[in-house]
Amino acid sequence: MTDQTLAIDFGTSNSAAAVLVNGRPYRLPVEQGAETLPTAVFFPANKGRMRIGAAAARALTSGEEGRYMRALKSVLGDPLLHEARLIEGRRRTLSEVITAFLTAVREAAEAQTGQRFARALSGRPEHFHTRDAARDAQAEADLRACYAAAGFKTVDFLFEPEAAARAAHGLGRAGEIGLIVDIGGGTSDFSVFRTEDGRPRILASHGIRLGGTDFDHAVSMTHAMPLLGYGGTLRREMGEGLLPVPNALYADLATWARIPFVYTPETRRQVAEMQRLATDRRAMARLATVLEDELGHDLAFAVEAGKIGANGDGGAGRISMGLIEPGLAAPVTGDTLDAALARHRAPLRAAAAETLEMAGVAPEHVGAVVLVGGSSLMRMVPEEMQALCPGAELRMSEAFTAVVDGLALASAERG
């Protein structure tokens, strides 16, 4: 067997792997025939085999005892990555968890192809952390170390929107200016390109730390968390007047990467005390149930489903919270979804405008906006891009696989 390069799109929400076969990307069905898999792991309570992707989600939703973890990419560059925590009977760091996920992807790819992959070409966002060069560099170093620990001797990185541009279909006529808009789970990345000889030439790239998990957080805080006591009040132990319910726990519970760490004895004691003093004891009792039964991820999945439903043609979704209390649900309409996400519109448009400015391209000269990444399907994204570039044609690329396809194409130049 010879060393081959494995293209890996390690995403905040979803990941994919591919190789180049006869000059074309071949996406590896790493998990049960699917070309992508959720970036998630599940450690069973009985110390059984770790599961990844959809299998991890099934273990969680089936009620199996264990620890589910998702959105691990978001902690790269953060000291939290290297803090050892007790996870189902063993102390592990999140760095070790990411390494285990990448190892599983490599081993699955090798089993399917019969090849050994000592080299990886990985996508990376323009910025893991917006306008923080030190943390950005640390995040790439962290990810590089995880790849090395996962058995790759060499790893190279390519910016994700540049990879997506390589794979974009229908780039248009020679000389056309295009804007790649790649909205992933954790970051939003932009590249301006000019079509030359049927291929894109990158003129400028830029990105910000904002993505689908932030959208989920906003919907959760505005729709689900009020039913758990968020925004409520507590009676004072002594004296008159009321105090606001602390926000920190709700913010953690609405953040995919932090959910596993809210189930502590200290947090449960804090909520029991808040329940005693709450003016809305029923809502606080629901919060206690979430912690006691460890339903944070179930709630996060329900929020994601409600967001997607409200973003669809019908404009109506529902956050089902029946596991917390029978019949409990939070409706999500197109209008309430827009209100929840309103504050994210300006940063998206500003980042795209800044990319155009970096490229020296006026918005009216953009002929095509190519949407990439699962979260680009949120209707506010094409709305904002169309408002910025009113003369551009909106084109949908392969939302979930454009980056890994582009990485596979680029691997020919690196191998």
Where would I find the beta strands (DSSP E) of 116-256?
116-124, 154-159, 177-183, 188-196, 199-208, 233-235, 242-244
**Unique residue bearing structure tokens 């952390």:** 129
**Unique residue bearing structure tokens 């019949």:** 327
**Unique residue bearing structure tokens 């990444």:** 373
Amino acid at 4: Q
3-161+404-414: which CATH architecture?
2-Layer Sandwich (3.30)
Distance between CA atoms of residues 316 and 370, nearest Å:
27
pLDDT tens for the chain, 415 residues: list them: 456 899 999 999 999 999 999 989 999 998 877 889 999 999 998 878 899 999 999 999 888 999 999 999 999 999 989 999 888 888 999 999 999 999 999 999 999 999 999 999 999 999 999 888 999 999 999 999 999 999 999 999 999 989 988 887 555 677 889 999 999 999 999 999 998 877 889 999 999 999 999 999 999 999 999 999 999 999 998 888 899 999 999 999 999 999 999 999 999 999 999 999 999 999 999 999 999 999 999 999 999 999 999 998 777 899 999 999 999 999 999 999 999 999 999 999 999 999 999 999 999 999 999 998 889 989 999 999 999 999 999 988 777 888 999 999 999 876 5
Cα distance between the two ends of the chain: 15
Distance between CA atoms of residues 80 and 252, nearest Å:
14
What tokens were used for 242?
């009321």
Please give the C-alpha separations between residue 336 and each of 218, 220, 307, 374, in angstroms, as whole numbers.
11, 12, 10, 21
Specify the CATH number for 172-397; select among 3.40.228.10, 3.20.190.10, 3.40.640.10, 3.30.420.40: 3.30.420.40
Task: Please state, as a whole number, how many other Cβ atoms lie within 10 Å of the Cβ of residue 340.
Answer: 20
Residues of the chain with CATH 3.30.420.40: 3-161+404-414, 172-397
Distance between CA atoms of residues 218 and 415, nearest Å:
42
Cβ 329 vs Cβ 319: under 8 Å = yes
